[in-house]
Amino acid sequence: MNSKAKILVVDDEEVVRLSFARSLAGEHCNVETACNGQDALQVMGQRPFDVVLLDLMMPGMNGMTVLKAIKQQWPTSEVIIITGYPAVDTAKEAVMLGAYDYLAKPAGPDDVINAANGAMLHKRWAMRRYQEGSCATFQ
């Protein structure tokens, strides 16, 4: 898995999208953005992403609904919920629905980079375990 990580930033606030995209952009990843849940699912349908940074509170489709759809259709994509309204109940729900991490805004560049790196590492290990398990069943 030497290809660049594909990361999607989903937030209804342009300044947040651009800030997160700028923090993550570099030689190790390709970053795209979406301004709402519907756009995020459309983009995912065209090309799945390794990691999705997903705002919880957006107009229209909220982050939990988008998280459910992503985990159903693209279960290997890692999702990081980022919210300006952190609560224990929503953090628990997000994790139960398959979110890799849950960050409170304002999330600084280091927080975003560390969460995305952790999610990519988790995905790589999960894919390795899956591949090793698949090989073991055929021996």
Cβ neighbours of residue 84 under 8 Å, at least 6 residues apart? Answer: 57, 104, 105, 106
Q: Measuring CA to CA, how many Å separate 135 from each of 128, 129, 132?
A: 11, 10, 5
Query: Domains of the chain: which residue ranges?
Result: 5-137
Q: Which position has the higher pLDDT, 127 or 64?
A: 64
pLDDT at 132: 63
- C-alpha 55/C-alpha 26 separation (Å) is 22
Is the pLDDT at 1 greater than 60? The verdict is: no
Q: Measuring CA to CA, how many Å separate 23 from each of 26, 64, 96, 128?
A: 8, 24, 28, 28
List the beta bridge partners of residue 24: none
Report the candidate in 2, 68, 19 with the shortest Cα–Cα distance to residue 40.
68
Task: Judge whether 20 and 13 are in contact, CB under 8 Å.
Answer: no
The per-residue pLDDT of the chain, averaged, comes to 89
5-137 classified as CATH 3.40.50.2300? yes
Q: What is the pLDDT of residues 4-51, one digit of tens each?
A: 899 999 999 999 999 999 999 876 889 999 999 999 999 999 999 999
- C-alpha 39/C-alpha 101 separation (Å) is 22
Q: Measuring CA to CA, how many Å separate 30 from each of 97, 133, 139?
A: 26, 29, 37
- What percentage of the chain exceeds 70 in pLDDT? 90
DSSP annotation of 85 reads: S
Q: Measuring CA to CA, how many Å separate 20 from each of 28, 41, 57, 104, 125?
A: 15, 19, 16, 13, 25
Is the pLDDT at 57 greater than 50? The verdict is: yes
